[in-house]
Amino acid sequence: MMNFQQIFGASPETEASAPGRVNLLGEHTDYNDGFVLPTAIPQQTTVQLGFSKDGLHHFYSVELDERVTISEGHHTPSGFASYLFGCIRLLEREGYTVPPVNVHVTSSVPIGCGLSSSAALEVATLRGLRSLLSLPLDDVQIAQLGQQAEIQYAGLNCGIMDQMAASLADTHSMLFLDTRTLERRVLPFPAEAEILVIDSGVHHSLAAGSGYNQRRAECEEAARLLGVKALRDITHPQAVESIPEPLRKRSRHVVTEDNRVLEAIQGVSAKRFGELMNASHTSQRDDYEVSVPEVDRLVAILQETPGVFGARLTGGGFGGACVALVEVGKVDGISREVIERYGRSGFTGRILVPEVS
């Protein structure tokens, strides 16, 4: 692994990190002004920064072994550099001066698993720039800038959940977030339960051109037809039955998903929380249509396994990881059984949380 000194010929001035996240309930509700319930995962993205001596920005990714140089007037680069470039440009548009910097990126957040590797990169980068330049930004402003970097420079019309989770969540609790007001509460996990996250082995990409931006557009059209600012303003699923398909199905998912989050934060049992997760997956599969057969198989195996309260697709969909709520102390045995059964179905999964040493 090439370190900062080897790449840039100097020592870094500062370092900052941010975690990936897994969303327990509230999928595709954040860009509908709705409610979400993520938690941070142990895997982190770390950036080291220093001042560049040649008047150019230089970015290096350890995992990709890729170096990108940004000159004055440079168009938005592709790949990992687009996120860093976006963060810098947004700070400049806020009136801050960002001198040329060297940025060294390393990350253990899995890419393409629906665990917000991009938000971790954005928040870590902005935290690093805040430290390097002594910027007066709080953690919510960091999240908001990260979101805009993803929308404006990476082409994903995302909600605020991922960046808020990367900026504010921890691995020991759930972060309830109202994405319209940014009201938030830190809540305990259901009693006697812990989180298991398994990668389905199906890489997903939510960049422009995927179904993600299309789903958002469908939700916005549905809200227009229903005469509300956002689908968050519909509280009863019956209210969406008047609009045509597929908008009706998309809306039904969002309305029922918001209701599942609002029930979960009342302090329900692990059993009931698991039932809400199961219902969430069915809704994502049938109404929102963002699942794939491999993910459905992995979720079904998890749901059938003793000691699992519930399981669902997590993240934007079209592949990626599944999250399950399982009995405390049983995660190792459950993991082995599920991976083995999934393998017998012809697929290859891997345990992401808890981390396997």
Q: What is the pLDDT of residues 194-214, one digit of tens each?
A: 999 999 999 876 544 468 889
Average pLDDT over the chain reads 95
Half-sphere exposure in the Cβ direction for 131 (13 Å, CA): 16
Helix and strand numbers (H, E) in the chain are: 10, 11
Q: Show the tokens assigned to 127.
A: 């935290």
Rounded to an integer, the average pLDDT of 104-108 is 98
- Per residue in 42-70, pLDDT (tens digit) is 999 999 999 999 999 999 999 999 999 99
Catalytic positions: 162
Q: Cα separation of 357 and 80, whole Å?
A: 27
Q: Show the tokens assigned to 123.
A: 């928040």
Q: What is the pLDDT of residue 72?
A: 79
- Per residue in 299-354, pLDDT (tens digit) is 999 999 999 999 999 998 999 999 999 999 999 999 999 999 999 999 999 999 99
Q: Show the tokens assigned to 29.
A: 């509700």
Write out 233-248 in H/E/C secondary structure.
HCCCHHHHCCCCCCHH
Q: What is the pLDDT of residue 74?
A: 83
* Backbone φ/ψ region at 23: left (φ over 0), alpha (ψ -120 to 50), beta: beta
Q: What is the pLDDT of residue 213?
A: 87
Q: Show the tokens assigned to 107.
A: 């990350």
Query: Check: CATH 3.40.220.10 for 189-353?
Result: no
Residue 275 CB burial class (10 angstroms; 0-12, 13-18, ≥19):
middle
- Classified as helix, coil or strand, 188 is coil
Rounded to an integer, the average pLDDT of 135-145 is 98
Rounded to an integer, the average pLDDT of 276-299 is 97
Res. 243 pLDDT band, cuts 50 70 90: very high
Angle at 79 between CA 99 and CA 130, to 5 degrees: 35
Q: What is the DSSP string of 3-56?
A: -HHHHHSS--SEEEEEEEEEEEE-TT-GGGT-EEEEEEEEEEEEEEEEE-SSSS
Query: For the chain, what are the domain ranges?
Result: 4-186, 189-353
Q: Cα separation of 206 and 126, whole Å?
A: 22
Q: What is the pLDDT of residue 208?
A: 41
Q: Are 103 and 47 in contact (CB under 8 A)?
A: yes
Q: What is the pLDDT of residue 100?
A: 97
- CATH class of domain segment(s) 4-186: alpha beta
Cα–Cα distance list, 265 to 22, 105, 134, 233, 328 (Å): 16, 36, 37, 19, 20
In the chain, what percentage of residues exceed pLDDT 90?
91
- Per residue in 143-170, pLDDT (tens digit) is 999 999 999 999 888 899 999 999 999 9
